[in-house]
Every structure is written in C-alpha cells, then in structure tokens.
Chains A and B, each alone.
Chain A
Amino acid sequence: MSQTPENRASPDAATQLDIYRRMVRIERNDEFTRTQIRRGRITAPYYSARGQEVIPSTLSNLMTDDDVICTIYRGIHDMVAKGMPLRPLWAEICGRVDGTCKGKGGPMHLTHPETGVMVTTGIVGSSMPIANGFAWASLLDGSKRVTIAYFGDGASNIGAFHESLNLASVWKLPVIFVCSNNGFAEHTRYENGTSVDFISKRAIGYGMPGYTVDGNDPFEMYAHAHAAIERARAGEGPTLLECKTFRFMGHVFGDNDAYMTKEEKAEALAKDPLVLFRQLLIDTGVATEAQLEEMKAGIEAEVQDAIDFAFESGYASVDELRRDVFAEEIPA
C-alpha cells in the first residue's frame, strides 16, 4: 500500500471552488430529498450519502463529459457530482414519467447516458464487472475515455470485486475502482466483515496500485484521483482507491444507527467535510462567505425548481409495463 502517488497534483483556486460547488449541490439535494421523504411526498427507500461528498466531487471535477461512471444504490451523490440535471433526477426519484428512466428505475437505478451515468445497480458489487466492459470498449474505440466504478467497503468482500480487479489488471483496462469506505457494510462494522485493515492492500493481489486516501480531504482526494485518471488515460491500467469517509445518515433513511456508538458518530459529524472545506476556502481567500452563501442560494433554487418540476410531472401509462422489455414490443 503506497500512500502518495508520484507527481502529486494540487487543485488551484478555481478547481477548489468547483469541487465545493459540486459538494454543496450534493448536500442540498440530499437535505431536500430527506425533507420530502419526511413529509411523506416520496415513498422510496433512500440511501443518503451525506458526509461522502468529497469523493465524487473531486473525481467529477477531473472527469470529462466523455468519461463514464457505473455506480450503486447509494449513488445519487455520484450522479449529481457528474452533472446529471436535477429535473429528470427528481422526477425519477418521484417515479414520474419525466424521470430519467420514466419512473421505471427509481432512486436506486438512475441512468443518464448524456452525463455519463451509464448504470446504477442495486446489487452490491455489480458496478465493477460492468465498468470493465465500458473500459474494454474504450480500448476498442481507441479513445481516452475513463470509466469509474463506485462501490462501498462491503462490496470489496463480494466475488465481483475480486473477479473485476483481476480482469481489469490482466487486460490493463482504463478503469478506476473507487471504494467509499464509510466503515460499515449495511450494519456490519468494517472489521467484522473484512479480512484486511486496508482495502487498498487487496490491490497488491491483483497487480495494480492501491491507495488508502482520506476521502473527506479534497486535496488528498484530488492528488490521488488525478494520478489514477492520468494512469488510466495513459493506457497504464487500473487503480484501486480506498476513500475513507463516514455516512452521517446510516444505511437507509430511518436507520437508528444502533450499530454504532454515539461518540464515533459525534466525532465524525464534528469533522463534516462540507463545513471544514467551506471554512478553508474562506480562510485561504478562495471565496468570501457572501460568495458561498450566494452559491448555496442558487443551488437551493435549482433543487427547488427540480422538485416543483417533478411533482408537476405525471406518471407513465401502464402500457410502459410492456415497453422497453425488448426493443420491439413482444406479447408474452
């Protein structure tokens, strides 16, 4: 396990601000989502990623529109960071016809190819084997497109992780395996389900670089994400990034966190990456408090607009049950 990539890249002021803007979009979107659920306006299981904003925000800053992601049911932050427009995102969360998937996928299964969100899986570990296919296509196309597979620490114990890292390494695929290690696989504490102290160590077994990164530190994340993306673009193969973080809202909305101590949660909340980064941007003169408040207000207006759009949208006709099963409608 190496801790630092060579040729460490550092985000300039504009990049820092862009990363922060993506984080605020994720956080505001998450807050508004939980509010709508609490009010009973959305009936869907919701897997909040509050606290994990830095990881996709940094990676997305470094990705082009051409690059693609395969993510998981706790993945709306990955999509928001990648730039998925909020109106169809919200309509999908609400099960409406104007949603990205016409209400046929829901919050666990958003797809939006225009912004590179190629698949969102509800099956733990399944983002990785599919990401390899996209990465193989990049080699066939002769393109520089990079694919990112997002997953959690729990998924590093499922077979798909191991098969995928092996194949990606043997085929030198331009893919980055991004593990958000939030310390819990559903309700099971990391060490009770995982054989190694650092998931990045598993990269050694698959002949690829693996790094354990403070996933709540935008500068650490930026350096490692930059190195991994550059390595993939240069045709040098895959990287495993283990990004240490914490989920503030438990496994699923309504989770009472009985499996963690109050102290460890309080400690994590005290180090909220959004609060810390905001203060840093002000302290270092990257932005003023007023500028950041204005940014937040603009984002809140965007989220509210998306919510209004979603609830004004209708539901798909029941004919949709027969459509998209195959390209052609086939009576069965």
Chain B
Amino acid sequence: MSADTAEATPAQAGEMLKMTGQAAITAALFQAMEEDSKVLVFGEDVADREGGGVMGTTRGLSTKFGDLRVRSTPIAEQSIMGAAVGAAMAGYKPVAEIMLMNFITVAMDMIVNHAAKLRFMSGGQSTVPLVIRTLTGAGWQTAGQHSDHYEGWFAHTAGIKVVAPATPADYKGLLLSAIRDPDPVLFIENSRTLFVPGDVAADQGPIPLGKARVAREGTHISLITYSGMVANCLAAADELAQQGISAEVIDLRTVSPWDKDAVLASADKTGRAIVVHEAVRHFGPGGEIASTIQEELFRKLKAPVRRLGAPYSAVPFAKVLEDAFLVQPADIAAAAKALCEYD
C-alpha cells in the first residue's frame, strides 16, 4: 500500500486493511499531521523532492502539508535533533527521522543531555514532545554500523520513552500515541518486520504506550520480547507446541516504561520466563526485566529466569555469522524446553 492509497482510503469502522508496518507508519504520519497542525516531519531525504525518504516512508507528506512542515535536512544528525528539541520547546510536535539507529550516536548529546533531561532540569517548565523515528535490525548484511539495537542506552536514560512495535497495527497505533505524548519518544522500526504485511483496522487509532500485548497465550513458560524478536518467539512457540509445551508470548511494545504488571502476571501464571531481545545480551534490557521478575516472584518461579540476546560482539557481515548473531527460533525453543525440564 502506497502513501497515496493510505491517504485516500476512508476509514470505515470494522474494515480491515492489509498493509506493511511501513505503510502503517505512513498512514499514522498523514493522520497525525492532518489532526494537529503542530506536527512536523523532518530528517534526511524525507520530502518528496528527495523521494519521500530513502525507504519511501514519508512519501506524499511534503506535497500535502508543505515544505515548511515536512523538511529534508542535511546529513547532520546533531542539528536534526537540536532543531527537534528547540521546535518542541517552542510548542511544536516534531517527528524527526534518524535514518538508522547507529546514526543516533552522532546526536547523543541532543537526545540524552537535552531532549530527555530538560523537563526535569528546568523544574517542569520545558516540555520536549518530540518523536525520533529510527530504523534498525540485523538480517540484511549491513554489519556493525547500520543494524544495532541500542534501546538499552535510552531505556537507561530517565526522561525518554522507548517504543519498539512488532506488528503493522502497532506501528500505526503506537506512533499515533508517541506523537501525542507530551515527552520525547524514541520509536524503533525493525527492518525484518517493517515490510511484513498484516491486518490494520481502517480506523486504527492510538494504542497506549507502556502497555504490553499477549501475542500468544500459553501456560508453561513466558517468552517476554519486543520488536523483531516477537516473530522469532512466535515461531519458537509453534515449535514448542509440537513438543507439548505451551509458551506464552508477551510483546512489550514499549521498552521504557515497560509493562511490569503484564510481565509479572504472565510469569506468575507460568512460573518460567525467558526475556528475548535482538540487542546484545550483556547489560541489555533483559537484565532489568529478568531481575525484576526474580525480585518480585522469587518463590513462585519453577526455574531461573533466562535471557537470550545477541553475543557480545558487533553485528557481523557474513551471512553465516549474522544468522548466528541473531537469536533464532530454535535457540528460544531449546532454552524454553530446558527450563521446562528444570528441576
């Protein structure tokens, strides 16, 4: 579905559309810009003169909403994020695109020292309601500077929310909420799931941040995950079902603030949990979630809480190495089986 059809399709209650996550994001941007004249979109190549984004995600926006609200920028991430911070404090709702997550490193000062902290440091006087859209994920052989998952860094920073959807409906609904949110939100688009079609309600509205989703119900073990690893966990759950193991898959949707209630309810029910993410396991978000489960449910657990994530290395180029770097469904299934047999 192209941006044009996303715009042209009238929303009818109950109607389901098939679209990719990318098309869902485009639709959300059209909707948000239509609803609120303060919403701005900018980043490298985002305007139609430059093709509406390298991936085409912002195609059509500048033609409809004008070159002042939808602006292509120089390749200068620090100035992109600085402009977002200033415009947000001046009352706008900028949706800044940092093309790939690794390029965020160039803009860390603006995000970490300024966007995330200015509300607190100003005693609540400054508000920075911006969204950073960024794409990442291994699987395309783009190696160690184009595919990292750095959400842990931002989840560790007080004052910025981190959203990492896994389905087209969530890409739309969570982006709408991120744009409406009064605080900075990092919105992570995973390159393996972004182009997979799925059902999106024609009138899909905002989905609240900080609320997890049960992607698959189960009784023996909880697989707690988000972003691209939701698909791998669902595949693992299929494998496990054939072995008589019922795995529940919790899609966090928001990494920070994460839905403790949903995670603890699931782990309480199953007594076993694995946190699965694409990010490097070492000091990754899984550590925080796993230790919270153990602190809260120590006596109810039937097995230690495990974490699965990428090895402590850069994302590799060679396909055979990249496949080994990513947590595969078979890895998840094997770990789940071992925990179910734990004694």
Contact = CB atoms under 8 A, between A and B. Distances in A.
Given A105-B122, A167-B76, A325 B86 contact: no
Contacts of B74: 163, 166-167, 170
Given A129-B79, A324-B120, A332 B90 contact: no
B176 to A, nearest CB: 17
A136 interface: yes
Given A119-B114, A121-B113, A159-B78, A167 B122 contact: no
B244 interface: no
Contacts of A160: 78-79, 82, 109
Nearest to B87: A133
A132 B79 CA distance: 8
Interface string B62-79: 000000110101101011
Contacts of A136: 83, 86-87
A171 B183 CA distance: 26
A112 B161 CA distance: 25
A138 B257 CA distance: 33
Given A133-B89, A140-B69, A330-B210, A325 B158 contact: yes
B221 interface: no
A221 interface: no
Interface stretch (B53-61, B123-131, B308-316): B123-131
A133 B127 CA distance: 14
Contacts of B121: 101, 104-105, 109, 111
A54 B125 CA distance: 29
Contacts of A102: 123-124
Nearest to A124: B109
Q: How large is the interface on B (under 10, 10 to 19, 20 to 34, 35 or more residues)?
A: 35 or more
A284 B256 CA distance: 64
A128 interface: yes
Interface in A101-157: 101-105, 109, 111-113, 118-119, 121-123, 126, 128-141, 147
B51 interface: no
Given A100-B125, A101-B123, A126-B113, A326 B183 contact: yes
Query: Of B79, B94, B109, which is in contact with the most chain A CB atoms at under 10 Å from its CB?
Result: B79
Given A166-B74, A325-B158, A104 B123 contact: yes
Interface in B246-291: 256-257
A129 B183 contact: no
A140 B257 contact: no
A99 interface: yes
B90 A166 contact: no
Contact of B126 (A119, A137, A159): A119
A167 B79 contact: yes
A133 B83 CA distance: 4
A140 B40 contact: yes
A70 interface: yes
B90 A163 contact: no
Contacts of A332: 158, 256-257
Contacts of B114: 119, 121, 123, 126, 130
Nearest to B88: A133
A166 B182 CA distance: 30
A133 B126 contact: no
B85 interface: yes
A327 interface: yes
Contacts of A147: 86
Contacts of B256: 332
B43 interface: no
A130 B80 CA distance: 9
Given A166-B76, A330-B210, A133 B159 contact: no
A325 B76 CA distance: 28
A323 interface: yes
B123 A99 contact: yes
B82 A126 contact: yes
B91 interface: yes
B119 A111 contact: no
B85 A130 contact: yes
B124 A129 contact: no
B122 A111 contact: yes
Given A113-B126, A126-B113, A324-B119, A133 B76 contact: no
A294 to B, nearest CB: 35
A166 B80 CA distance: 11
B82 A133 contact: yes
A164 interface: yes
Contacts of B119: 324-327
16 contacts: A103-B123, A112-B125, A119-B118, A119-B122, A123-B113, A129-B81, A129-B82, A130-B89, A131-B86, A134-B86, A140-B69, A140-B87, A160-B109, A163-B74, A326-B182, A327-B182
Interface of B: 40, 68-69, 71, 73-74, 76, 78-79, 81-92, 94, 109-110, 113-114, 118-127, 158-159, 161, 182-183, 210, 256-257
Interface of A: 70, 99-105, 109, 111-113, 118-119, 121-123, 126, 128-141, 147, 159-160, 163-164, 166-167, 170-171, 323-327, 330-332
Given A163-B79, A166-B79, A325-B158, 6 more contacts: A126-B110, A132-B83, A160-B78, A163-B74, A324-B119, A332-B256
